[in-house]
Chain A
Amino acid sequence: GAVVSQHPSWVICKSGTSVKIECRSLDFQATTMFWYRQFPKQSLMLMATSNEGSKATYEQGVEKDKFLINHASLTLSTLTVTSAHPEDSSFYICSAATGGASGNQPQHFGDGTRLSIL
């Protein structure tokens, strides 16, 4: 159980393009979804936290207008990288949890999306 599906797994696109990444919880309802970014050989850095039906909470230094997050249902959250540039190239990973991801309910991660902007 607790499967999180992330799509697409790899995106290559031109600079200036907007890219949408989907994160779905397949067999449970995710009250909270998290979006992370990982640079090579570095830790996963939390970008934003989204709760179903409300606005996402962004971490310091993350541009809200650049990284649009929508959590329209209990099973789907999307991250849209708007007007992507080469510096946005990274590995983006989502995770999902019920009830706000307390210690007793670990976050379940998708397989990530590798975004390459040319």
Chain B
Amino acid sequence: DQQVKQNSPSLSVQEGRISILNCDYTNSMFDYFLWYKKYPAEGPTFLISISSIKDKNEDGRFTVFLNKSAKHLSLHIVPSQPGDSAVYFCAALNTGTASKLTFGTGTRLQVTL
């Protein structure tokens, strides 16, 4: 049972344009969401997070939007840069429990010149 889903396994975006990565979840108990970036043979690196009491959080070129009613969140990267090419995982947790992260399957972003 995949509680966090990233339905697009890959995405290609031109440098300078906006990258939009999507994530859907099924567990309504999740109240905190995170995005991680991962390069091959490395561990994930935390990017940005959002609490369920918010619908938007912005940090530099990265903005995460949360639509609780749709159980959907998205990560916007603008402008996209070649160094952004990596696999992006969204993750969710219920802060009231043992704080276990549940990861999506990842989206591979390729930013082209």
Contacts and interface: CB of A to CB of B under 8 A. Distances in A.
Interface residues of A, number: 29
A90 B42 CA distance: 14
Interface residues of B, number: 27
Contacts of B104: 43
A103 B31 contact: yes
B77 interface: no
A30 to B, nearest CB: 13
A57 B31 CA distance: 22
Interface stretch (A14-22, A73-81, A105-113): A105-113
A104 to B, nearest CB: 8
A4 interface: yes
Contact of B42 (A42, A43, A95, A112): A112
A112 B41 contact: yes
A32 to B, nearest CB: 8
Interface string B78-104: 000000000001000101001111111
Contacts of B4: 43
B49 A110 contact: no
Interface string B42-64: 11111001010000000000000
A25 interface: no
A106 B34 contact: yes
- Chain A CB within 10 A, most for which of B2, B34, B44: B44
Contacts of A106: 34, 46, 49
Contacts of B46: 106-108
B99 A4 contact: no
Interface string A9-42: 1000000000000000000000010100000011
A109 B101 contact: no
Interface in B1-33: 2, 4, 9, 31-32
17 contacts: A6-B43, A9-B41, A32-B99, A34-B100, A42-B105, A43-B4, A43-B105, A44-B103, A49-B98, A49-B100, A93-B43, A93-B44, A102-B95, A106-B46, A109-B36, A109-B45, A111-B43
Interface of A: 4, 6, 9, 32, 34, 41-46, 49, 57, 93-95, 97, 100-103, 106-112, 114
